[in-house]
Amino acid sequence: MALTPGERDDLPDDERDDDGPVLDLLAAATAAARREDAALVPPPALLRRVMDAVRADPRPPGTPVVLSAAPGARVAVAEAAVLRVVRAAAESAGDVRVGRCRVDAAGGVLRVSVAVTARAGVPLPGLADRVRARVAAVAGATLGLPVAAVDVEVEDVT
């Protein structure tokens, strides 16, 4: 089901960037729901948070992360898979929701950067330490690379 020109014009700019069929179906369903009930329009802050999360999550094909460069035994993992390991580890620390996540495995060591939303009332330094420890332990054990750094940025508190 394609969008009419008027429906496409009504979309925010960031939703018009991709002309793919999945977006067309989603946008058409959203437009139909909006016609049925104007109260279904999401608050701008929610829409912005969802779109930020979508943009923050890279999709394959990404740069493969080389876990072992030994001759005849090279092991590389899709960046998306490494990011899933890191996200799951960070969220397992509790009291956080992971937003943006970056990894770099240059030089055979893993450097991680995660941006999180923290639960209100939780002391942030201790939370950052828990996230850092979980990511270092889980990513190191799962991926087999030494973890040189885990930078934690608290972007929001809810």
Return the closest-CA partner of residue 87 out of 106, 77, 75, 100.
100
Reduced to 3 states, what is the DSSP secondary structure of residue 75?
strand
**Sequence-ordered strand ranges (E) for the chain:** 65-68, 75-77, 96-104, 110-118, 147-157
Structural domains of the chain in order of their starting residue, each with its CATH number: 5-41 (no CATH), 65-157 (3.30.70.1350)
pLDDT digits (tens, 9 = 90+) for 58-83: 555 567 888 887 788 888 888 888 99
**The overall pTM is greater than 0.95:** no
pLDDT tier, 134 (very low <50, low <70, confident <90, very high otherwise)? very high
Q: Roughly how many angstroms between the first and final C-alpha of the chain, as a whole number?
A: 37
Question: What integer pLDDT is reported at residue 4 of this predicted model?
Answer: 61
pLDDT digits (tens, 9 = 90+) for 96-112: 999 999 999 888 899 99
pLDDT tier, 114 (very low <50, low <70, confident <90, very high otherwise)? very high
Longest Cα–Cα distance of the chain, Å, equals 61
Paired strand residues for 156: 117
**Sequence-ordered strand ranges (E) for 54-146:** 65-68, 75-77, 96-104, 110-118
Query: How far apart (Å, rounded) are the C-alpha atoms in residues 150 and 152?
Result: 6
